[in-house]
Amino acid sequence: MNAQQRVAEFLATYEMDSDPAYRVLDLASEVGELAKDVNASTDYGDEPDAVAVNSDELGDALFALLAVAESLDVDADEALDEALVKYRDRIEETGDPGSGE
């Protein structure tokens, strides 16, 4: 069973159905928790080599992202494959993975 299926089963088991908008807001909050860990561990970027992130916070963000995908009926593995193709194409065309926008 893949990670998205595991999240979908958890959401169903615990009756955690929610609108996609709420899911996206939850994802933003969880990514904010990661940023908080990075800010604290690096003294707001003054010590970048000291970066530390709690793995449970990373897990929360991953759960939230997979819950977004599930609520939008998007296959997260397919979306990742699309993104990897996009980044590879950009690197091959421009030498840089950024969008340039």
Give the pLDDT score at 1.
74
Indicate if the pLDDT at residue 100 is higher than 80: no
Percent of the chain with pLDDT over 90: 95
Two structure tokens written together for 50: 């000291």
pLDDT, the chain, mean = 96
Percentages helix, strand, coil for the chain, rounded to the nearest 5?
Answer: 70, 0, 30
The pTM of the full predicted model, rounded to 2 decimals, is 0.91
Rounded to a whole number of angstroms, the distance between the first and last alpha carbons of the chain is: 37
- pLDDT tens digit string along 1-33? 799 999 999 999 999 999 999 999 999 999 999
The residues spanned by each domain of the chain are: 3-94
Maximum Cα interatomic distance, the chain, rounded to a whole number of Å: 46
Which tokens belong to 87?
A: 């980044």
Q: Which CATH number fits domain 3-94: 3.60.15.10, 1.10.287.1080, 3.40.50.1370, 3.40.50.970?
A: 1.10.287.1080
Residue 42: per-residue pLDDT: 98
